[in-house]
Structures are given as C-alpha cells and as structure tokens.
C-alpha cells in the first residue's frame, strides 16, 4: 500500500511513513488535550458551583444576621420608648399602665398589680392592676405581717421571686399563700425617707420558668417605677404647694394692696428681706397735692359724705398716678405724696410727674362738675400741686413692729412747701425739675420764693401745659 502511494505521488516510502506517524502523533496529542480541557472544564464547573454555594450560604447567613440584628435593634428601640414613656410621665395612672404594658409584652405577664401603702391603716391596697376584676381591685388589702411572698417582700424590704424561694426551704411554705398570688414582688421606696411606699407584684405569667435575664428586666422595671412614682409625688406636692402659696399670695396682695401701692407691694413680695429698717440715698421726683379749703368743706358735709367724697377723689387720683408710672407713697388727710423713681426708677420720671399733675388737674374739673350737681353751682373743689426732684433718703422708716416705705429729706419738704403756696388748680415746680424737662413743657416763670426751711429763695415755675 505504502509502495503504491509512494509510486503514485513520487515521494519516497520513508517520508510517507514519517508523515503517517506524525499525523497520528498530532491526532493523539489533540485528543489528549481535549480530554484534559474537558477535565479542567468539569473541575471549573464544580469549583464555580462550590463558589456559588458558598456565596449563597454567606448571603443567607448575612441576611439572617441582619434580620436578627434588625429585630434586636427594633426590640431595643421599642423597649427604650417604653422606658421613656414610664419615666417621662407625671400621672400615676399613666405610669402604672406603661409598666403593665412593658411587663405584658416583654415578660408575657398576664396578671399583676401595684399596691400603695395607706399611711393611716399601714395596709397596702391596689393603686392599679392588670388582669384584676373590679371586686379584686376593691377587696385587696395586704398587711406587712401577712404570711405570703408579698408579705415577705414588705417585711424584709427585698425583691422576692418564686424560683429563688423554692431553693430556700425556709420560705417555701409561703408559696401560694396570701391575698394575691406572687411570682415576683419588689418594694418601691420613697426617695426622701427610703421607706416602702408601694409594691410591684407579678401574679401570673406565661413562663414561670423565667430566665435570669427576665428577672433582671423585672428589677429594672421596678427601679423605673420607683423613679417615676417619686417624680409624680414631687410634682403633685409642688402643684399643691404652688396653689396654696398662690392663694396665700393673692390674699396678702388683696389685704396689703389696700395700704400700699402695687409697686411697693411687688417689691416687698419679690424680696421679703427688704423689709428691714433703713434707707438709701436716691434721686427721686416728689409730687405733693392738697385739697384747697378742705377744713371749711369738711365742716359743711356730714362725716360719711365727706369720707365718700375723699374715697372717690383718691381713687381717681391713684388711677392717674398709676397710669403715669408713679407710686402713691401715702395719704395725709386730704393730701397725697407721690414718688416717681421709687421703688422703680424710669428714664421718664421727671416728665411723667408733670404729665401726671396736668391730668390730675384736668380730672379735678370733671370731679368738681360731678359734685356740683348735688352741692350747687357755687361748689368748688380745687387742688394745689408742688413737684420737686432731688436726692432723698428712701426706704423703710419706723420701728421693727411698724414701718413705712417712704422718702424723707429736704427735697421732700420743698415739694410740700410749693404745694402749700400753689393756688387751687395750679401746679408749681422747682428749677431743678424744670431743667430736666424744659424742652417738653410750657411754664410761666414766677418770682423766686422763700420757703420754710431754706434761707435762699427757690426759683418757681407755674406749669401751663405740654409742648
């Protein structure tokens, strides 16, 4: 065969043989290569399958971890919100309801109660409950001497739980005894006296074989309840004291306000320590007013009618003084002494005093017309006003048993001297006051006047009006 092929193509037989072996060798190597590639492909597929399985397992495990973590975070967040609700409330019933909600959802508690100590009977009765009926709520009354687990908790001032008691043969006889069943019970203490004021008692729960973690949660809830109830108690006491103080203050204001001005009363109430004898030097504007011919007027009127007229007059004048930020220091018979700048100083004290005087004189005209309707056309009611500004001694003057907030000094005397020489319906002021408000008022300059107590004449101005 080889010879025929070689003869036909003219190629030596040896070369043909080499070519045949070469082709066979190449084919064999190719087949071996393909076989190796197929083996590697299968190994690769297996490897990829293993990798995918590992990835899938890792994803599933990661998903489980994330789910568990999320559930744990959500649970912790919910627990935090419940805790916050307990400690942020000041209403006892809301506090109790929040505690029961937490115990029910976290410990599967089905029945529980919070017992409050009655200070008179020294018995514990139900403040709030979970799973109790109305009769149970009303009838439960526990004495600290009761032979039960809750009685043990009260007497020993410790937290008691049934699992721990069952390990202590000494107290095993108390299990299941008493007015209410006890699985866990803990005393609640008053923050100030550290005395027991209440007891938190779990009567029934789904899993009696609770864990240490669940027991710790119960202890935490007990601590929260103690804090919340004490906060509520403090808040109630503060409200009660505040209401009582408010009533007393209003009563004092009502009585005290009839004898002193609102400003003086406010200063004393804000600083009771100020009620001490003594005074300070202070620049004050003093307004003195007096009814002209009052003695003659009082002789023609019955006493009751005279008092009624004075009360009416002083009420109107006091209202005007208050509107102009003055302080009525005292009434002296038919005279008034008004201070501007004490006890509270204002930048407009000097001007306010003059505006007040003008308004007082205007009001007197109306007051005079009112009384003319009953006293006749010849009836006259006039006041003279004197105003001065300067340093005075101001403070509580008198004795330790009877003191008066007032101003004394030469500048007070000058104001009254001006008032004494002021004709009815006029207001006189000093040079020192005029210099403070000269650009805002219209005056008539009078001749210097000698006043009692001063050797030098005093320059006086008659107030005409405001600019």
Cα-flanking dihedrals φ and ψ of residue 378, to 5°?
Answer: -85, -5
Q: What is the pLDDT of residue 359?
A: 95
Q: Return the structure tokens found at 238.
A: 């503060």
Separation CA 36–CA 75 (nearest Å): 57
| Whether residue 415 is found in the same domain as residue 310 | yes
* Residue ranges in 303-404 assigned as alpha helix (H): 303-323, 349-375
Give the strand pairing for 383-398 and 427-430: parallel
Q: What is the pLDDT of residue 74?
A: 40
| Whether residue 309 is found in the same domain as residue 451 | yes
Separation CA 452–CA 145 (nearest Å): 87
| Whether residue 317 is found in the same domain as residue 443 | yes
Which is nearest to 421 in space by CA: 464, 442, 450, 389? 450
- Residue 252 domain-assigned (yes or no): no
Q: Report how far apart, in Å, the C-alpha atoms of 180 and of each of 215, 222, 242 are.
A: 20, 18, 39
- Residue 285 domain-assigned (yes or no): yes
Q: Which residue(s) pair with 441 in the sheet?
A: 466
| Whether residue 116 is found in the same domain as residue 166 | yes
Helix (H) or strand (E) run with residue 8 in it: helix 2-9
Last residue of a domain, one of 84, 104, 125: 84
| Whether residue 358 is found in the same domain as residue 428 | yes
Last residue of a domain, one of 63, 84, 105: 84
| Whether residue 47 is found in the same domain as residue 106 | no
Q: CATH number of the domain at 156, please.
A: 3.30.450.40
| Whether residue 378 is found in the same domain as residue 453 | yes
| Whether residue 151 is found in the same domain as residue 193 | yes
Q: What is the pLDDT of residue 34?
A: 77
Q: CB count, 10 Å around CB of 384? A: 22
Q: What is the pLDDT of residue 207?
A: 85
Buried b (16+ CB within 10 A) or exposed e, 148-168: bbbbbbbeeeebbbbeebeee
- Residue 281 domain-assigned (yes or no): yes
* Boundaries of domain holding 382: 270-466
| Whether residue 304 is found in the same domain as residue 447 | yes
| Whether residue 53 is found in the same domain as residue 134 | no
If the chain, 467 residues long, is cut into consecutive pieces of 10 residues, what is the mean pLDDT of each piece? Answer: 52 66 70 74 74 67 54 48 65 86 88 91 91 86 89 89 77 84 91 89 89 87 85 75 73 58 61 57 94 82 85 90 89 92 87 96 88 78 95 79 79 94 95 95 92 82 94
Q: Which residue(s) pair with 186 in the sheet?
A: 200
Q: Tell me: the pLDDT tens digits for 271-293?
A: 655 444 557 889 999 999 999 88
Contact (CB, 8 A) for 444 and 454:
no
Number of domains, the chain? 3
- Residue 250 domain-assigned (yes or no): no
| Whether residue 180 is found in the same domain as residue 36 | no
| Whether residue 76 is found in the same domain as residue 100 | no
- Residue 242 domain-assigned (yes or no): no
Residue 326 gets the label, from left (phi > 0), alpha (psi -120 to 50) or beta, of beta
Chain CA centroid to CA 108, Å: 37
């Amino acid at each position: 065969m080889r010879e025929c092929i070689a003869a036909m193509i003219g190629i030596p037989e040896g070369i043909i043989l080499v070519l045949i072996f070469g082709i066979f060798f190449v084919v064999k190597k190719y087949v071996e290569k393909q076989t190796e590639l197929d083996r590697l492909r299968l190994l690769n597929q297996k490897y990829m399958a293993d990798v995918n399985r590992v990835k899938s397992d890792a994803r599933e495990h990661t998903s489980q971890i994330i789910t568990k973590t999320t559930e744990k975070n959500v649970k912790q967040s919910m627990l935090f919100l419940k805790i916050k609700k307990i400690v942020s409330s000041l209403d006892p019933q809301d506090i109790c309801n929040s505690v029961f909600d937490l115990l029910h959802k976290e410990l599967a508690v089905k029945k529980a109660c919070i017992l409050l100590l009655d200070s008179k009977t020294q018995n514990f009765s139900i403040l709030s409950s979970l799973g109790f009926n109305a009769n149970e709520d009303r009838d439960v009354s526990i004495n600290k001497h009761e032979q039960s687990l809750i009685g043990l908790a009260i007497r020993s001032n410790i937290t008691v739980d049934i699992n721990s008691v069952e390990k202590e043969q000494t107290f095993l006889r108390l299990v299941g005894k008493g007015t209410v069943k006890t699985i866990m019970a803990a005393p609640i203490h008053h923050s100030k006296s550290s005395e027991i004021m209440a007891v938190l008692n779990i009567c029934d729960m789904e899993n009696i074989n609770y864990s240490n973690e669940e027991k710790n949660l119960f202890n935490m809830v007990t601590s929260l309840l103690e804090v919340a109830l004490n906060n509520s108690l403090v808040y109630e006491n503060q409200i009660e004291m505040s209401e009582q103080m408010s009533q007393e203050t209003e009563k004092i204001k009502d009585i005290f306000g009839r004898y002193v001005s609102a400003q003086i009363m406010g200063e004393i109430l804000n600083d009771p320590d100020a009620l001490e004898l003594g005074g300070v030097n202070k620049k004050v504007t003093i307004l003195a007013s007096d009814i002209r011919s009052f003695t003659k007027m009082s002789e023609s009127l019955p006493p009751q009618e005279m008092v009624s007229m004075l009360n009416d007059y002083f009420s109107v004048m006091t209202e005007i003084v208050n509107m102009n930020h003055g302080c009525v220091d005292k009434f002296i018979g038919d005279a008034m002494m008004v201070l501007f700048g004490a006890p509270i100083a204002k930048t407009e004290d000097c001007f306010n005093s003059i505006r007040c005087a003008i308004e007082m004189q205007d009001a007197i005209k109306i007051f005079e017309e009112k009384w003319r309707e009953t006293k006749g056309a010849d009836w006259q009611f006039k006041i003279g006003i004197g105003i001065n500004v300067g340093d005075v001694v101001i403070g509580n003057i008198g004795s330790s048993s009877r003191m008066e907030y007032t101003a004394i000094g030469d500048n007070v005397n000058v104001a009254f001297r001006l008032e004494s020489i002021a004709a009815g319906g006029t207001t006189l002021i000093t040079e020192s006051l005029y210099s403070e408000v000269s650009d805002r008022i219209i005056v008539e300059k009078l001749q210097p006047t000698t006043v009692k107590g001063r050797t030098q004449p005093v320059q006086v101005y008659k107030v005409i009006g405001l600019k």
